[in-house]
Homo-oligomer: A and B are copies of this chain.
Amino acid sequence: MTRNLLYAQSGGVTAVINASAAGVIATARQASGEIGQVLAARNGILGVLRETLVDTAGLSVSDLARLRATPGGAFGSCRFDLDPAEQNPAQYDRLFAVLAAHDVGYFLYNGGNGSMETCRQIQAAADARSYPLRVVGVPKTVDNDIVLTDCCPGFGSAAKYLATSIREVGLDLDAMTTGSGRAFVLEVMGRNAGWLAAACALAAEDDDAAPHLILLPEVLFDEAAFLEKVTAVVERLGSCAIVVAEGIRGQDGQILSMQDRNQKGYIQLGGAGEVIAERIHACLGYKVHFALADYLQRSARHIASKTDTAQAFGVGKAAVRRALGGGSGVVGIERLSDTPYLWRTTLQTFDDVANLERQLPPEFITPDGFGVTDAFRRWCRPLIAGEDWPPFRDGLPDYLRLQLPLVPARLPPYVP
């Protein structure tokens, strides 16, 4: 007897989350003896509640290949947490009514730490209601902050994009080092964990190459020590390239950009890079440029890492296989060796993963706090390895813009 599989995407999207979707769909299609329809919800768990579902049977084999090479979340994502089951049983009644109406026996949720809590809640509610459901979390985040996995799909490609960018900017800076000192600041994502900022270090082939300094959220910002470092680099090389994680904190533990940002009424966290750029200019008088990668870094599929796309596809595939095998939990990646980089998938319990956050460990940060260690480089290098160019047409990546019709609703509209 077959049952249907429901897949959904959650949280900030990445350059390769659709590769996970492709892995799920392709693997589920191969299991036609156990899985009937392969459905996807629009906009994550919200789409389940709203019963806005699509049937991925509408995707041809060539669509699937393009989906694998398309950034963003093709099925739509959301930032929405379920209420605790005991506080809002009606929400769960609706959720399970939708699952039952479409005979969903497998629910695969592709997201980060918060989404794994959603998975945990749904599996627990299904068990409590004796609704037969296997829930499996498919990891995804550019922030690389999920615990109990070697890395998170999405991170490697964003890291490759950022390291490439700072290497290119470094050559630009090198060309212009006449006259007074110059500095360049690149702000990258990372509220509490500095994995992306740290990955930029891979761009530097030696001490003279960019980036020269990295500011991590794991290290409280020491302005005096920082300015001294910048001065030393500029005196030696004429310019200094600095990578700043958006979430760096001052000595008081406050996010550096916060005050500035609140005055502007902004919602975006960013701003740390600009604060740093202004401090350098004000204190040292250098000419300063700054760049803010923002969404560009998490959607740069054009320079995706081959390791990353393979792992993104692989965790989607593993999630289907685990669910079919009766498993429930979060797919992880286990590193078997650095060189060659070998890995396999694992399954972690929701309790061990949900809502936790992995920061850079101390052994990955240099004693002065402004750089990363060789141990970090060894860990990170394989994750950006290999190129996986998307197809191009007329000079631009030929991405898939998915237009699947909604499956007819079987229930009355959702009233939260």
Contact = CB atoms under 8 A, between A and B. Distances in A.
A71, A75, A265, A302 pick with most chain B CB within 10 angstroms: A302
Nearest to A273: B292
Interface in A24-73: 43, 46, 70-73
Count the copies: 2
A293 B295 contact: no
A303 interface: yes
A289 interface: yes
A186 B209 CA distance: 28
Given A176-B13, A265-B281, A291 B302 contact: no
A302 B303 contact: yes
A389 B387 contact: yes
Interface string A287-299: 1111111111011
Nearest to A14: B172
A324 interface: no
A207 interface: no
A300 B300 CA distance: 12
Contacts of A160: 395-396
Main secondary structure, interface of A, reads mixed
Interface stretch (A161-169, A347-355, A359-367): A161-169
A264 B291 contact: no
A160 B395 CA distance: 7
B289 A171 contact: no
B386 A389 contact: no
A411 B249 CA distance: 53
Contacts of A396: 160, 163-164, 167, 202-203, 384
Given A72-B168, A168-B72, A176-B77, A278 B292 contact: no
A174, A264, A299 pick with most chain B CB within 10 angstroms: A299
Contacts of A394: 202, 381, 385
A296 B295 contact: no
A399 interface: yes
A399 to B, nearest CB: 6
A72 B174 contact: yes
Contact of A172 (B71, B169, B282, B303): B71
A331 B165 CA distance: 30
A168 B395 contact: no
B172 A72 contact: yes
B294 A294 contact: no
A171, A282, A386 pick with most chain B CB within 10 angstroms: A171
Interface string A226-264: 000000000000000000000000000000000000001
Given A163-B395, A184-B294, 19 more contacts: A72-B168, A73-B176, A76-B176, A78-B176, A164-B302, A165-B296, A169-B295, A171-B401, A172-B298, A202-B396, A209-B401, A264-B281, A267-B281, A268-B289, A290-B294, A291-B292, A291-B293, A291-B296, A387-B389
